[in-house]
Structures are given as structure tokens and as C-alpha cells.
């Protein structure tokens, strides 16, 4: 069972507000990921990190930014929220193992609604 | 390019079997299968590596055809708890990112 947490679980906010979605994991995993998922649709990678001070943009363009100051923490920030940002945001982490392919463990997600 | 899953949706009676397919246009290193229930996070089911096959969960198994760049997930004697959306996540060579498929919605009725 993976220990990865996201807060808040639900967020309703007005246009133009700055928001930060929190993601923490207690497994000591080096790699962490942010995905965006619309209801019933596929997951799109928006950011990932190989470790502390490492951040990379994913396959889906996003106006959000991330930081990785500590191994266990990978927050996502939107400087100015817009209705087009309304979606579910899923955080995941994984650990590299020799001779294997990493399994990603997901947090419960944050459902964001921008009015 | 995003992996394609088929079928898009499956409706089953309890105890029936189902097969979900996932295909890619790229050479694959590994295939990961996840199940996501409504309003919840995806849950890892199993992983298949190039040259191998691993069973990971309940009465669910999977195959990986490297030449065809395809994977299939087999659900036997389905249970109500199998309901959800199934995603394949594909990892190609020279990358450690997963690209997720379009999803297959499975509904099991009593």
C-alpha cells in the first residue's frame, strides 16, 4: 500500500486566484509526477521530477509550475486560475529498481473547479 | 502518440469474462495496467516487462506481445468489484515516462 497524500481534495475558487496543490509521499521515492485528468478521460502528464531540485515539463502543456525542494514534497502552483484549469489533478510517485520498471503509485487527487 | 484501448466500454454480468486490449505505435519496454473507480485514484494492477509476464491481482492476468506492440488484460469470472475504468500505461525505450491509454470503462452487474 502506497502512502501518498494530496490536499485539498476539493477546491472551488474564483478566476485570477493563486492556488497551490500539495502532494506528499512518505515512501522516499525519488520520482514524482503530476497528471491532469478530465472526468472519464485519460491521464495527461503535466510535470515530473527525478529528485530534489529536478523538475521537467510533461507531454501536456500546462500553465502551472512545480518545485521539488524536499524529496517527499512536490507542490503544484497556478499563479492565476482560469475556468480552463478546471479538472482533476493526480500526483504520483515511483521508485527505480534494478531490472524492473517502476510502478507509479497515485494519490487520491484534487478536484479543482475554477469559477 | 497515445496508446489506443479497445473496447471503449464493456458491460458484463457477474461471472463473465472480458478482454481489454491496448496497442501502441512505438516499441515498448513495459506495460502497466491500472484500474480507476469513479472519483478515486488509479490503482496499480500489474506490470509486464519485455520478455516476461507478471500476474498481479485477483483473477486478472495480462499478456504482452512485443512484436505487435500490444498488451491484453484478461478478467475472468468478473466480480462486482471489477467495475471501473481500466488504463494501460506504456513505457517506451529511453524514457521513464508512462503514456496512458484512452481507457476502457467496465461495468459488472449482478
CATH number at residue A99: 2.60.40.10
Q: Tell me which residue range forms the domain holding A40.
A: 4-114
The three cell numbers of residue B102 are 484512452
Q: Say what the pLDDT of residue B66 is.
A: 82
**From CA B52, how far away is CA B43, in angstroms rounded?**
21
Among B residues 1-40, those touching chain A with beta carbons less than 8 Å apart: 2, 29-30, 32, 34, 40
Q: Is A13 on the interface with B (CB under 8 A)?
A: no
User: Domain B4-109 classified CATH 2.60.40.10?
Assistant: yes
> What does the pLDDT average to over A40-56?
93
Neighbour-count burial for A77-93, b at 16+ CB within 10 Å, e otherwise: ebeebeeebebbbbbbb
Number of domains composing chain A: 1
Gap between the Cα atoms of B70 and B55, Å rounded: 17
A58/B41 Cβ within 8 A:
no
- Tell me the pLDDT tens digit for each residue of A66-104: 999 999 999 999 999 999 999 999 999 998 665 556 788
Please write the tens of the pLDDT for every residue from B6-26.
999 999 999 999 999 999 988
In this prediction, residue B55 carries a pLDDT of 59
Q: How confident is the model at residue A110 (pLDDT cuts 50, 70, 90)?
A: very high
* A17 pLDDT above the threshold of 70: yes
Band of pLDDT at residue B57, cut at 50, 70 and 90: low
Q: Is A34 on the interface with B (CB under 8 A)?
A: no
Judged by a CB distance cut-off of 8 A, whether residue A60 touches chain B is: no
Amino acid at each position: 500500500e502506497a502512502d501518498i497524500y494530496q490536499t485539498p481534495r476539493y477546491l472551488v475558487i474564483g478566476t485570477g486566484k493563486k492556488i497551490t496543490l500539495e502532494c506528499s509521499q512518505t515512501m522516499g521515492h525519488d520520482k514524482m509526477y503530476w497528471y491532469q485528468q478530465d472526468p472519464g478521460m485519460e491521464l495527461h502528464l503535466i510535470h515530473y521530477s527525478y529528485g530534489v531540485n529536478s523538475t521537467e515539463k510533461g507531454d501536456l502543456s500546462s500553465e502551472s509550475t512545480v518545485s521539488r525542494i524536499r524529496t517527499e514534497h512536490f507542490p503544484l502552483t497556478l499563479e492565476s486560475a482560469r475556468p480552463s484549469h478546471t479538472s482533476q489533478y493526480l500526483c504520483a510517485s515511483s521508485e527505480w529498481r534494478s531490472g524492473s520498471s517502476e510502478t507509479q503509485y497515485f494519490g487520491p487527487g484534487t478536484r479543482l473547479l475554477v469559477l | 502518440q497515445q496508446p489506443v484501448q479497445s473496447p471503449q466500454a464493456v458491460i458484463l454480468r457477474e461471472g463473465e469474462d472480458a478482454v481489454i486490449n491496448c496497442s501502441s505505435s512505438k516499441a515498448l519496454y513495459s506495460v502497466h495496467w491500472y484500474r480507476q473507480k469513479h472519483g478515486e485514484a488509479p490503482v496499480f494492477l500489474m506490470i509486464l516487462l519485455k520478455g516476461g509476464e507478471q500476474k498481479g491481482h485477483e483473477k486478472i492476468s495480462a499478456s504482452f506481445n512485443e512484436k505487435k506492440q500490444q498488451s491484453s488484460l484478461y478478467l475472468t469470472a468478473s466480480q462486482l468489484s471489477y467495475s471501473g475504468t481500466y488504463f494501460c500505461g506504456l513505457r517506451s525505450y529511453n524514457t521513464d515516462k508512462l503514456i496512458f491509454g484512452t481507457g476502457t470503462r467496465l461495468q459488472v452487474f449482478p
